[in-house]
Chain A
Amino acid sequence: MPTMQVGNVTIELDEDGFIVDPDLWSEELAKVFATSEGISELTDDHWKVINYLRDYYKQFQIAPMIRKLCKETGCSLKYIYELFPSGPAKGACKLAGLPKPTGCV
């Protein structure tokens, strides 16, 4: 299984590059992911989405409905795609350290 080094922590990744243990997430890790996703700089809007996802995940152990994410952060789906080119699930959730969603998604 692939791993990556952030500071002095070794983090395990799954085949799609999502972190295996969400507890190991750090802001540093988000920045490393951002680079690999082709995001040059994490702006306040990026952090707003990431932090919302993390808070929601902490409370419910699941990613929020995309529509809810848009509504609560005030970002349209189009804008989220601009922020995270791989989209809300494969981009934003990955940076926020959420596991990859399963099922028909």
Chain B
Amino acid sequence: MPEYKGMKQAVRASEEDLRKIHMIPVPDDQKADEALKYLDEMRKKFRSFVTAMESCVKCGLCAENCHTYLGTRDPNNIPAGRADLVRKIYRRYFTPEGRWFGKLVGAEDISLDVIEEWYTYFYQCNECRRCAVVCPFGLDTCEVTMVMRQILHWLGMVPKLHAHVGHAMELTGNHTGLPKPGLVDTLEFLSEEIKDEFGVDVPFPVDKPDSDILYIPSSADFLLNPYTLMGAAMFFHYIGANWTIPSTMAEAGNFGLLFDQQATQRGNVMRLLDAAEKLGVKKIVWGECGHGWRAAKMYIPTLADRPVRWPITHLHDETSYYVQTGQLKLDPGKNNRPVTLHDPCNYGRACGLAENLRITLNACVPDFREMTLNREKNFCCGGGSAILFDDPEMYQLRIKFSQKKADQVRETGVGNNGDGVLCAPCSICKAQLYPMVEEHKLGVEVKGLIDLLGRALVWN
């Protein structure tokens, strides 16, 4: 079990893993100096980081509003406390008051212990931005976490999971490391499944030239979420769209956002633009992936190194449009189970995608029950920013992080008869919630939103 002076940590990428993502780790005795250099660079670059460092009044409002603190009661998981882990260093080296008054203003000298604290706690933040929504000033601890994860990456401190994903993306164009033949095999299998279950012939066009629409699925769908892929294909086929999935970019996620917003994240953006250009598409539609949608919607314009010619929309901005204009024939009776909706944090808080989910969902199910505290006030599933570590210690932490979500689901009562549905239209949420609904015995099945729409479509 990786541990540093009593702090449980995520399994770290080895030197070999790091070299595969083009990173040379910094030796321990040089880490403190290098960290200060990187911190100086980041503070001069990101205003959101500087305002978070210099304007927090420590009112503590964020504490009871952060699910990681609610689940663990660890003061370093209070958003303001988490930011303090770096604020004390920032004060000491980059502000006059910290240089002159030190401890009085909470400043502290840098050391390897502090850097290990960073690795521990900035990988216990789900980057859900609930603290930013509730903060009186809108200070965003997610920005602090992102800056610190970047610095940790440059120091060579990255969780194995994130490093492996970065490498798999480079090799295959998706996070799970799915080569094209495997991808096509899975899609052919799903085509047969649709035929068997819904009685319609629905193809999955891959790399089809001159398509109108480029659909970007989450690669986790190929292993875990069959109905998400099936639902999307059925929707596109139903409306007669000329669509395709690019084998070189079968990935809605972008882990660069979560550990390296420079080389890794930009590389993935370039891959997408290459695919869109090659297949001659007119519009890019994003699949069910929360952080990936934020990365696509909000970061592509500032990361692309050439003009982006294609409008990029989310699948559910499109489904809700066709639902609202009455162009789909849907039978909610086909999803005759109580359903509640988990708002993925990146949809609701970072991308303004909340109402549209409800428009689509309400048309697809007869019994939809809102959670108390929803939309931008929703609590994270506990897996946000891919904290999907599954060694036993970190897994226990994930259970604690999902406590608040479990309480919310229970309150809706959808699982009372053991046949409820927890709709969570995001791959990380799904990966986190599949085991968590069992751990907390919620009596619900986790499903995507397009899964429900696919099932509700009336074909004749």
Contact = CB atoms under 8 A, between A and B. Distances in A.
Is chain B in direct contact with chain A in the complex (CB below 8 A)?
yes
A105 B431 contact: yes
Contacts of B222: 65
A62 interface: yes
A85 interface: no
Contacts of A68: 186, 189
Range of interface residues on B (Cβ < 8 Å): 35 or more
Interface of A: 1, 14-16, 59-68, 71, 89-90, 101-105
A102 B226 contact: no
A66 B431 CA distance: 13
B177 A60 contact: no
A67 B226 contact: yes
Nearest to B185: A60
A61 B179 contact: yes
A61 B182 contact: yes
A28 B100 CA distance: 66
Contacts of A90: 390
Contact of A63 (B2, B223, B289): B223
B218 A16 contact: no
5 contacts: A64-B186, A65-B226, A71-B189, A89-B223, A104-B220
Nearest to B230: A67
Given A61-B182, A67-B189, A101-B177, 17 more contacts: A15-B160, A15-B391, A16-B11, A59-B181, A62-B182, A63-B223, A65-B190, A65-B222, A65-B226, A90-B390, A102-B161, A102-B177, A103-B219, A103-B223, A104-B428, A105-B176, A105-B224
Interface centre among B165, B190, B223, B226 (most CB of A within 10 A): B223
A68 B218 CA distance: 18
A103 B165 contact: yes
A102 B176 contact: yes
A62 B391 contact: no
A104 B175 CA distance: 8
Interface centre among B165, B218, B224, B253 (most CB of A within 10 A): B224
Nearest to B289: A104
Nearest to B179: A61
B168 interface: yes
Given A15-B160, A68-B186, A101 B176 contact: yes
B193 interface: yes
Main secondary structure, interface of B, reads helix
The 3 A-B pairs at the shortest CB distance, nearest first, are namely: A103-B175, A60-B182, A104-B220
Contact of B220 (A1, A15, A105): A105
Nearest to B171: A61
A1 B185 CA distance: 35
Contacts of B161: 102
B179 A60 contact: yes
Nearest to B1: A15
B453 interface: no
Interface in B169-200: 174-179, 181-182, 185-186, 189-190, 193
A92 B412 CA distance: 35
B253 to A, nearest CB: 7
B36 interface: no
Interface in B212-240: 218-220, 222-224, 226
Contacts of A64: 186
B431 A104 contact: yes
A66 B175 CA distance: 17
A60 B176 CA distance: 13
A103 B220 contact: yes
Contacts of B226: 65, 67
A103 B174 CA distance: 9
Nearest to B14: A1
B386 A104 contact: yes
Given A103-B168, A104-B431, A62 B193 contact: no
B279 interface: no
B427 interface: yes
B455 interface: no
Contacts of B160: 14-15
A105 B427 CA distance: 8
Nearest to A60: B182
A78 to B, nearest CB: 12
A64 B188 CA distance: 12
A67 B390 CA distance: 22
B351 interface: no
Contacts of B186: 64-65, 68
B176 A66 contact: no
B82 interface: no
Given A60-B181, A62-B177, A67-B193, A105 B223 contact: yes
